[in-house]
Structure 1
Amino acid sequence: MPDSTQLRTFVAVVREGSFEAAARSLHVTPSAVSQRIKALEQSVGQVLVRRTKPCQATDAGRPLLRLAGQVALLEREALEAARPSGAGGPAPTRVTIVANGDSLGTWFVGALARLPAELSLLFDVRRDDEEHTAELLRDGTAMAAVTAQREAVRGCRVQRLGAMRYVALAATGFAARHFPDGPTEAALAAAPMMAFDRKDRLQHRFARTVTRRRLDPPTHYVPSFDGFNEAVRSGLGWGMVPERTARADVAAGRCVDLGAGRHLDRPLYWQHWRIGSATLDALTEAVRAAAGAELR
């Protein structure tokens, strides 16, 4: 069994991206970091760190990365439970979570705010498309994720949160120019479209439900929740927008619903490490409560 110092060093190298940055975060020399990683690799008989820029865990290293995070979390909770009353608050625990951009822009941050301050948590929240968020669970980077994947990642528990509803939104003037007859196949093929990034396929999915064809319209990429929605309001392109955001823009006359009742519901799930952790239990309770108030 690798010792906890080696595991913490391994996590630091992957998190910080280099041996030198890991040494600074651990307040040791780069030589000490290198020696610990070599000893860890020798003990398991596998190369665990890909010496790239940034450093990455190898396939063999990913299970150890998850183990290291789980050990650190459980050690911290055990030490806190053993601490005598009045001995001061616990050292902060960093919790790495991954969520899709629309959840971050609507309900997810409110879930984190529900957690009691006495837990002393520091959040490292990563953003990725909901189809891909589970990848950070698989490689051990994240301990929990909001994901579209309903099958549990190995070593994790999964719970359904609900569905986020999206409507096809366009600025009023943009719709008048590009969709005078509604979302026809010709209009959807030619009108500029918005996307978060190249992983975002919601707009393509909506166009396919309307036309029964795969279209490849001209696309703007804006990788932020606020930026994406502002681009739609400004008439840069049409896009799939969470129902609550869309409702306010339609009511104000800024935008129109191109789908006229058509929508997409995106089921979302909560996956987290399958360990007995008070921190993960509290986080899960807060996420489920916030999702229950926002999602369908």
Structure 2
Amino acid sequence: MRIPVELAETVAAVVDEGTLDAAARRLHITPSAVSQRIKTLEEQLGRVVLVRSKPARPTEAGTAVVRMARQVALLEHDTLAELGDDSSPDSRTTVPLAVNADSLATWFLEPLARLSAQHPVVFELHRDDQDFTAGLLESGTVMGAVTSRSTPVAGCRVSALGAMRYEAVATPAFAERWMPDPDQPATLAGAPLVDFDRRDDLQTRWLRACGIDEALPTRHYVPASSDFASAVRLGLGWALLPGFQSSSGLDGGELVRLGGPPIDVPLHWQQWNLRSPLLDAIAHEIVAEGRRVLRPLDTGR
């Protein structure tokens, strides 16, 4: 049995765009043609590849087909580059990547900008918590991911990036109000804090390390990295911020450290284990930048 590339690309387009109509516009065919292609593939495989929901999502079989389509597109790009093909200078290969919010807001875009200037590539970024980005690799949604997971995802290879260090900070006025004894972080028990979302456990980990009941503080939820940092700078609550986002405020007196232990979040780069000059170039830039700006993973506190 063979899977026609055109049919696999159609499934990937539907998954990317969310609907058959949107995939049809991308592929420059009619929605009925998209539907027919998917039906043909499902008949050939004897399996359903797409759940017709809104947005459409792949089944387990469909996930494998989408992964195949992305790998074929990548290999096609590398082959054309090797052949020196320049007949379509405006044609760019789409590379989906996953990254955690704090990396995206601080250091991750610089290597992508360099790559975009050097290669005919556009990036589709998926933002998620570093503990969950590896799942996007497993599903074939992305080709590479910044993740806290050091064990390689099946079919992927991993490189250490470094650790992002977080420290508990607040405005001086907030600290004076809620933490009258600057040497006793435990006095913060009644102070409101800021969480990114309900999966964010950094503040909870800090509370536990300081011997504070995690159920005591009230919590704001601000699910955007730059807005999260702004909420702290505006005095909405205290939180742990990476040095990228707190250093200028600390130097300028707009923020103060609250004490307690810093928390280091290890980050790794994982990507499909394919022989691909483009993927290798992406890994080289991202890993080099991560190792330049992040703390070495073996550095003590």
SS of the residue aligned with 1:104? helix
Q: Do structure 1's residue 177 and structure 2's residue 177 form an aligned pair? A: yes
Moved more, 111-120 or 122-131: 111-120
Corresponding position of 1:133: 133
Moved more, 24-33 or 214-223: 214-223
Q: Is the 8 A contact 2:169 2:240 kept in 1?
A: yes
Q: Do structure 1's residue 21 and structure 2's residue 22 form an aligned pair? A: yes
Moved more, 234-243 or 57-66: 57-66
Deviation by residue 1:38-76 (Cα, 9 ceiling, x = unmatched): 111122221111111100111222122112111111012
Please state how far the C-alpha of 1:120 moved relative to its aligned partner: 1.0
Task: Give the TM-score taking structure 1 as reference length.
Answer: 0.94
Please state how far the C-alpha of 1:79 moved relative to its aligned partner: 2.5
Write out the 4+ residue segments of structure 1 that deviate beyond 2 Å after TM superposition. Answer: 79-84, 86-90, 181-188, 212-217
Q: How many pairs were matched up?
A: 293
Corresponding position of 2:284: 285
Equivalent-residue separation in structure 1 for 2:139 and 2:216 (angstroms)? 32
Corresponding position of 1:200: 200
Please state how far the C-alpha of 1:187 moved relative to its aligned partner: 2.4
Deviation by residue 1:5-45 (Cα, 9 ceiling, x = unmatched): 00110000000001111111111011110111111112222
Letter paired with 2:288: A
Q: Is the 8 A contact 1:89 1:118 kept in 2?
A: no
Moved more, 241-250 or 280-289: 241-250
Flag structure 1 segments of 5+ consecutive residues without an equivalent.
none
SS of the residue aligned with 1:254? coil
When residues 179 and 186 of structure 1 are mapped into structure 2, their CA distance, relative to the original with a 3 A threshold, is closer
Q: Do structure 1's residue 2 and structure 2's residue 3 form an aligned pair? A: yes
Equivalent-residue separation in structure 1 for 2:210 and 2:56 (angstroms)? 44
When residues 215 and 186 of structure 1 are mapped into structure 2, their CA distance, relative to the original with a 3 A threshold, is farther
Task: Give the TM-score taking structure 2 as reference length.
Answer: 0.92
Letter paired with 1:196: F
Corresponding position of 1:145: 145
Equivalent-residue separation in structure 1 for 2:290 and 2:226 (angstroms)? 20
Please state how far the C-alpha of 1:162 moved relative to its aligned partner: 0.6
Q: Is the 8 A contact 1:184 1:211 kept in 2?
A: no
Equivalent-residue separation in structure 2 for 1:258 and 1:185 (angstroms)? 10
Letter paired with 1:44: L
Equivalent-residue separation in structure 2 for 1:117 and 1:187 (angstroms)? 48
Moved more, 274-283 or 174-183: 174-183
Equivalent-residue separation in structure 2 for 1:150 and 1:231 (angstroms)? 32
Moved more, 156-165 or 176-185: 176-185
Equivalent-residue separation in structure 2 for 1:212 and 1:25 (angstroms)? 53
When residues 234 and 116 of structure 1 are mapped into structure 2, their CA distance, relative to the original with a 3 A threshold, is closer
Equivalent-residue separation in structure 1 for 2:147 and 2:216 (angstroms)? 26
Corresponding position of 2:262: 263
Deviation by residue 1:144-179 (Cα, 9 ceiling, x = unmatched): 000011111111111111100000011111111111
Instruction: Give the percent of matched residue pairs that are identical in Structure 1 and Structure 2.
Output: 44
Moved more, 163-172 or 242-251: 242-251
Please state how far the C-alpha of 1:215 moved relative to its aligned partner: 3.3
Q: Is the 8 A contact 1:62 1:138 kept in 2?
A: no
SS of the residue aligned with 2:205? helix
Please state how far the C-alpha of 1:114 moved relative to its aligned partner: 2.3
Corresponding position of 1:56: 57
When residues 35 and 116 of structure 1 are mapped into structure 2, their CA distance, relative to the original with a 3 A threshold, is closer
Q: What does 1:34-183 align with in structure 2 at a 5 Å threshold?
A: 34-84=35-85, 87=87, 89=89, 91-115=91-115, 117-182=117-182
Equivalent-residue separation in structure 2 for 1:141 and 1:56 (angstroms)? 11
Over the aligned positions, Cα root-mean-square deviation in angstroms equals 1.7
Q: Is the 8 A contact 1:207 1:215 kept in 2?
A: no
Equivalent-residue separation in structure 2 for 1:156 and 1:44 (angstroms)? 26
When residues 212 and 195 of structure 1 are mapped into structure 2, their CA distance, relative to the original with a 3 A threshold, is closer
SS of the residue aligned with 1:98? strand
Moved more, 54-63 or 166-175: 54-63
